[in-house]
With several copies, the nearest count.
Chain A
Amino acid sequence: MLTANELDDRVGEFITAHRDTDDALGYLRARFDAGLAWVHYPVGLGGLGAPRALQPAVDARFTAAGAPSNDPGRIGIGLGMAAPTVLAYGTEEQRERWLRPLWTGEEVWCQLFSEPGAGSDLAALGTRAIRDGDEWVVDGQKVWTSMAHEARWAILVTRTHPELPKHRGMTYFVCDMTAPGVEVRPLRQATGEAEFNEVFLTGVRIPDAHRLGEVGDGWSVARTTLMNERVAIGGGAAPREGGMIGIVADTWRERPELRTAGLHDRLLRLWVEAEAARLTSARLRLQLAAGEPGPEGSAAKLAFARLNQDISGLELDLLAEEGLRHDEWTMRRPASVDFTTRSPGYRYLRAKGNSIEGGTSEILLNVVAERVLGLPAEPRVDKDAAWKDLPR
């Protein structure tokens, strides 16, 4: 297997060879073809079969060289969720068709999983797919779909066998977002913005060739997707005061007239918690680097959500009158969440989403309790009954 030094040499050669390229897309395609996109992917699919741990150094070197970026913020769902699933379950043709334009950013992906009636209980979903020759006809409604309004493709889980127990009657597809019958509507949220969408699927025809995994095996495929979502969250390196605590700490330092004794101890408590969360993430990164992926990822997401909420609540209390004043409620379509540029009220409201999106804190606590602590599961009333007979 490739060593870190050999890999570094290859990156250096690539950078030198493409030094004078003006064509960003061409550069990214070439980088993919050289196996330097995601080095742990197979040769021919943007990788070199190298250890995953070598990727950060590669990215850092390209960044340092000022190389064109594939804008990972914009194509996060493709990179983090669609790609590993296509890699794991896709046919040769599917991998070759989808992975390259996914990685280069030519094609944006979104995720059609959650439904109004199936959020935490994703396996209850009811979007129907009925086979019709070489195609499937899909009807239903999905929700909380970020980037749907810009996406070319979607990963989609459907119900194909309502008469089976819920975990056994699902099938997983890749859905063409430009296909007739796909309607995307913005979903406005408490902040006034719409990061997300509702997606209505009405008689959408999907070729069987766009199925991922076996018919009826959609739950397993979806779990692969979601496992990769969990890994993607919460592991980022941060300096001390790097998160939201830094904003309020700076306000505290710069505006002594706002300080009160009661808020002081609360600020210090949150400062300590933020530092604890930071050290925990640092420890998690060491574990991942040492190849011991622990369940601390869920812990990090739980802690991050609570911290953001508590800190932004404190910030409003500190600002008092200024906290009563907001910047704007305009309906916008932001491409990503930025906690630093908007008003404190925005931070406060947006942080409420942190314990709902990507798995509610309640669900994550269940995951920790059952999978980590090994506490017994609740009595299940929905495991063996046919999906169609479940109360909803």
Chain B
Amino acid sequence: MSATEHLLYTEDESELRSGIRDLLTERVTLAALLARIETNEPYDPKLWRVLTEQIGAAGLAVDETHGGSGASWRETAVVMEELGRSVAPTPFLGSAVLATAALRAVHAGALLADLAGGRRSASLAVSFASVPGARLRYPVRADGDTLTGTVTSVVDAGAADVLVVAAEAAGGPVLYAVEADQPGVERRPVVSLDLTRPLTDIVFTGAIGTALARGEQAEAACATALTTGAALLASEQLGIAEYCLESTVAYMKTRHQFGRPVGSFQGPKHRLAALWVSIAQVRAVARYAAACVAADDPDTAVAVAVAQAHCSEIAVRAAEECVQLHGGIGFTWEHHPHLYLKRAKADALAFGTPDRHRAILARLVDLPA
């Protein structure tokens, strides 16, 4: 069955969505979000607990023998959509997507089970700007199982218990699990453009790691993790774009100027309708990317490049329209649009900008420069 047969949402997915949306609507109010993002604890630990322990969101792509629910990345993508809609600060991307994808690839069962059950969280120690499909760089060197080097701009690493680190060793790359709370690991918080998703620089100075895989397998695990992250980020971008459109439409129905709801003016109307058309495309493209990674489809590389090239641009446009069409209040700290703009723009930079994905696509579909 081709991945194009999986573009709709199943009933299970709709139920999953509805549960998560209820939770996020309750826990991630704008006021709570604004209060939290400038503190040292941007994540809401209670939200994360409910999400992982009660809903099992972190184990959707993990099979049942490892404590997951044996669903797939497609269901995980639905979670990403909802997290995007609410710009909720959670370590889901780092732990339940990036680290989980890497650990799945190397069959690291016990750690995988910990992540799936929400008992621990992890992150993959790569720059958030790493481009899937591009050559991997290894800023960390391994000497025996002792790691040294600096990885910058790592997503969701600040609160992680475990860091999954690909390091260059004498015999080629090795993938390690590294306990984050040890003397050889220093985590330096980064002031990030997206306040709802903190980044961290990690300095390894003789940290001790546990080798999970070596050589091609280690490399492939990293590549898979990046590809999966990029594929699922498209779903987050879908959620961002949808919420930006919906909240703008809602605002324009009630905001009056010149004695009319501003949403009755054809200028913004046409722009929002065109945006809706684009978002319908984002949905199809993001679903396709999720279906491809879920099935390890041969078309995955194309699907992900298309998704990242397309969804990044539309999510940013949606957020920019959200700011602009909210007028003055769209530019204030107290209203939501700026949070979505920052998330959307950061997501566009994450896992490679659209132009970098188009360049990758050029090779994949034989359209050389």
A and B touch in the complex (CB under 8 A): yes
In the complex formed, the residue of A with least CB distance to B127 is A321
| Residues of chain A within 8 A of B284, CB atoms compared | 276, 279-280, 282-283
Residue in B128, B268, B324, B356 whose beta carbon sits within 8 Å of that of A262 in the complex: B356
B63-71, B99-107, B114-122, B271-279: which one contacts chain A?
B271-279
Chain B, residue nearest A275 (CB): B306
The A353-392 residues at the B interface (CB cut-off 8 A) are 353, 355-356, 360-362, 364-366, 368-370, 372-382, 385, 390-392
Q: Is A263 at the interface (CB under 8 A from chain B)?
A: yes
**Residue contact B256 to A392, C-beta cutoff 8 Å:** yes
List, in ascending order, chain B residues with CB within 8 A of A348's CB.
345
> Across the interface, do A378 and B331 meet the contact criterion of CB distance under 8 Å?
no
CB distance from B95 to the nearest CB of A (A): 19
- Stretch among A19-27, A154-162, A188-196 lining the B interface: A188-196
Q: Kindly list chain B residues whose C-beta atoms are within 8 Å of the C-beta of A259.
A: 368-369
A-B pairs with beta carbons under 8 Å apart, 18 shown? A118-B257, A120-B258, A144-B328, A249-B367, A253-B366, A272-B306, A276-B310, A316-B345, A317-B349, A323-B349, A324-B190, A325-B193, A356-B327, A360-B324, A365-B274, A366-B273, A372-B276, A380-B258
What are the residues of chain A within 8 A of B258 when measuring CB–CB?
120-121, 124, 378, 380-382
Q: Mark B306-345, 1 if CB is under 8 A from A, else 0.
A: 1001100000100010011001111111100110011001
Q: Find out whether the CB atom of B349 lies under 8 angstroms from the CB atom of A369.
A: no
Q: By the criterion CB–CB under 8 Å, are B277 and A253 in contact? A: no
B152 on the A face (CB < 8 A)? yes
> Interface size class for chain B?
35 or more
The distance in angstroms between the C-alpha atoms of A287 and B8, with both chains bound, is 7
3 nearest A-B residue pairs (beta carbon): A262-B355, A382-B259, A190-B338
A188 to B199, CA, bound (A): 24
Given contacts A272-B361, A282-B7, contact A323 B193 (CB under 8 A): yes
* Set of chain B residues within 8 Å of A353, measured between Cβ atoms: 331
Contact A267 B367 (CB under 8 A): yes
Is A273's CB within 8 Å of the partner chain B? yes
- Contact (Cβ within 8 A) B270 A362: yes
Assess the A320–B349 pair: CB atoms within 8 A.
Answer: yes
A328 to B194, CA, bound (A): 11
B62: interface (CB < 8 Å): no
Bound Cα distance from A316 to B350, whole angstroms: 11
Q: Is the CB of B274 within 8 A of A302?
A: yes
Taking beta carbons and an 8 Å cutoff, which residues of B are in contact with A? 4-5, 7-8, 38, 127-129, 152-153, 190-195, 199, 245, 249, 252-253, 256-261, 263-270, 272-274, 276-277, 280-285, 287-288, 306, 309-310, 316, 320, 323-324, 327-334, 337-338, 341-342, 345-346, 348-350, 352-356, 358-359, 361-362, 365-369
Chain B contacts for A252, CB-based, 8 A: 367
Which residues of chain A in 94-112 are interfacial with respect to chain B, using CB atoms and an 8 Å cutoff?
none
A365 with B270: CB separation less than 8 A: yes
Closest CB-CB distance, A269 to chain B, in whole Å?
7
Name the CB-closest residue of A to B350: A324
Q: Considering the chains assembled together, what is the distance between the CA atoms of A323 and B342 in angstroms?
A: 11
Report if A376-B263 is in contact (Cβ < 8 Å); known contacts: A276-B285, A323-B349: yes
Contact of B272 among A260, A263, A273, A369 (CB under 8 A): A369
Of the listed residues A296, A324, A356, A377, the one surrounded by the most CB atoms of chain B closer than 10 A to its CB is A324
Closest to A301 in B: B277
Known: A119-B257, A286-B7. 11 other contacts (CB 8 A): A117-B256, A119-B328, A276-B310, A279-B285, A282-B4, A313-B316, A329-B191, A366-B273, A373-B249, A375-B263, A390-B259
Chain A contacts of B338 at CB under 8 A? 189-190, 349
Residue on B with the closest CB to A290? B8
**Contact, CB under 8 Å: A375 / B269:** yes
Query: Which residue from A114, A321, A326 sits with its C-beta under 8 Å from B128?
Result: A321
Q: Min CB distance, B188 to chain A, in Å?
A: 11
Which single residue of chain A is at the shortest CB-CB distance from B6? A286
Residues of chain A contacted by B287 (CB below 8 angstroms)? 279, 283
Chain B contact residues, majority secondary structure: helix
Counting chain B CB atoms within 10 Å of each CB, which of A279, A280, A362, A365 scores highest? A279
B346 to chain A, nearest CB (A): 6
Instruction: Please indicate the chain B residues that have their CB under 8 angstroms from the CB of A169 in the complex.
Output: none
User: Bound state CA distance, A20 and B191, in angstroms?
Assistant: 50
- Beyond A299-B280, A325-B193, whether A272 also contacts B324 by CB under 8 A is no
Once the chains bind, are A366 and B266 in contact (CB under 8 Å)? Answer: yes
Knowing A272-B361, A368-B276, A369-B269, say if A189 contacts B281 (CB, 8 Å): no
Task: Kindly provide the distance from the CB of A321 to the nearest chain B CB, expressed in whole angstroms.
Answer: 4
Tell whether, in the assembled complex, residue A352 and residue B323 are in contact, meaning their CB atoms are under 8 Å apart. Answer: yes
With CB as the reference atom, state the residue of chain B lying closest to A350: B331
Assign chain A's interface to a size class: 35 or more
The CA of A121 and the CA of B338, in the complex, are separated in Å by 23
Interface residues of A in 317-335 (CB under 8 A from B): 317, 320-321, 323-329
Residue of A nearest to B324 (CB): A355
Among A296, A323, A364, max chain B CB count under 10 A is at A323
CB distance from A308 to the nearest CB of B (A): 13
Q: Is there contact, CB below 8 Å, between A272 and B358?
A: yes
Chain A nearest CB from B98 CB (Å) reads 15
A residues 255-296 touching B (CB-CB < 8 Å): 256, 259-269, 271-273, 275-277, 279-280, 282-283, 286-287, 290, 296
**Given A119-B327, A325-B193, A326-B192, CB of A189 within 8 Å of CB of B257:** no
CB neighbours (8 Å) of B261 from chain A are 376
CA distance A313 to B320 in the complex (A): 11
Query: Is A345 an interface residue when CB atoms closer than 8 A count as contact?
Result: yes
A325 interface neighbour in B153, B253, B329, B367, Cβ under 8 Å: B153
* Min distance, Cβ B279 to any Cβ of chain A, angstroms: 9
Cβ-defined contact, B355 with A362, below 8 A? no
**Interchain CB contact under 8 A, A190 and B341:** yes
Once bound together, how far apart are the Cα atoms of A144 and B153, in whole Å?
A: 35
Q: Say if the beta carbon of A28 comes within 8 Å of chain B.
A: no
* A309–B319 CA distance with the chains assembled, in angstroms: 13
Bound complex: CA A356 to CA B368 (Å): 35
B8 CB contacts on chain A under 8 angstroms: 283, 286-287, 290
Q: How far is the CA of A321 from the CA of B369 in the complex (A)?
A: 20
A187 at the interface (CB under 8 A from B): yes
Chain B residues contacting A320 (CB-CB under 8 Å) are 129, 349, 352-353, 356
Expressed in whole angstroms, the Cα–Cα distance for A309 and B341 within the complex equals 13
Minimum C-beta distance from A117 to chain B (A): 8
Whether A361 pairs with B272 at a CB distance below 8 angstroms is no
- Of B199, B263, B288, B366, the contact of A324 (CB 8 Å cutoff): B199
Knowing A326-B193, A369-B270, A373-B276 touch, does A321 contact B153 (C-beta < 8 A)? yes
Contacts of A376 in B (CB 8 A): 253, 260-261, 263-264
Cα separation A320 to B353 with both chains bound (whole Å): 7
A143 within 8 A of B: yes
Which of B252, B261, B268, B362 is most buried by chain A, counting CB atoms within 10 A of its CB?
B362
